[in-house]
Structure 1
Amino acid sequence: MKITSILGTNMELTEAIKMYVEERALVLEKLTSSFEESADLRVELGKTSQHHTSGPFFFAELHLTAPGTILTAKAEGEDLYAVIDEVRDDLKRQLVDMKEKNVDQNRGPRPGKE
């Protein structure tokens, strides 16, 4: 899996934020390693507006494009780093659910007795 872009909306992204996103994406990379083709991750971080001073004004979106599927996770909150963790956990849950679904579909009925 590779991170194709990290975008900042209504804010500047520091190197610390970019490194934090890349570190958190390692968990997702382990889950996408079984895909035959590479998966692409797009990250968008930002503020919902320029003038809010309280409330959930940070947001994060992850868009994972993998062979045959596109997964999206979104979250909002007051702390940017907590929002990044929350959205990563949501996408991780979606990946695990997708893998379990594929395993369940590959299992067939037991062979009948003869």
Structure 2
Amino acid sequence: MQINLKGTELELTPALKVYVESKLGSLAKFIKQFEKEGETEMRVEIARTTRHHHRGPSVFRAEANLRLPGRVLRANQDDADARAAIDKVKDKLQLEIEKYKTRLEKRSRGQK
């Protein structure tokens, strides 16, 4: 799985890049069956939504789009810490992958 990383209003440090690749790269084990069918790609954007901490608790936003053959799964999260937002996006995306795999299994068994 290829991971493309983009920072908006935020400089992506090497440590943050490694953190994103290790956290979101761990999802590769859940999508092995899709890699056989075609290319899988994940696009991740980490953005600073505001420079003022007084405007609310959400300062950073993490978004991830996982392109599978025939489907795009998406997750996003706002948080006060960029790493916490990445962790929550990973959890949401893992849940979306599990839902999609369950839907495919039911379809192949003839259930709705």
TM-score (norm 2): 0.90
Q: Does 1:9 align with 2:8?
A: yes
- Paired residue for 1:100? 102
Structure with the greater alpha carbon radius of gyration? 1
Q: Percent identity?
A: 36
The answer for the alignment partner of 1:82 in structure 2 is 84
The C-alpha deviation readout for 1:47-71, integer Å capped at 9, x for no partner, is 102x312421110000111100011
Segments ≥4 residues shifted beyond 6 Å: none
Task: For 2:68 and 2:52, locate their aligned partners in 1 and report how far apart those are by CA, in whole Å.
Answer: 35
Give the alignment of 1:1-114 within 5 angstroms: 1-3=1-3, 5-35=4-34, 36-49=37-50, 51-54=51-54, 55-108=57-110
Structure 2: which 5+ runs fail to align? Answer: none
What is the TM-score normalised by the length of structure 1? Answer: 0.88
SS at match of 2:42: strand
Deviation, structure 1 residue 105: 1.1
Which has the larger share of helix? 2
What is the RMSD computed on CA atoms of the aligned residues?
1.2
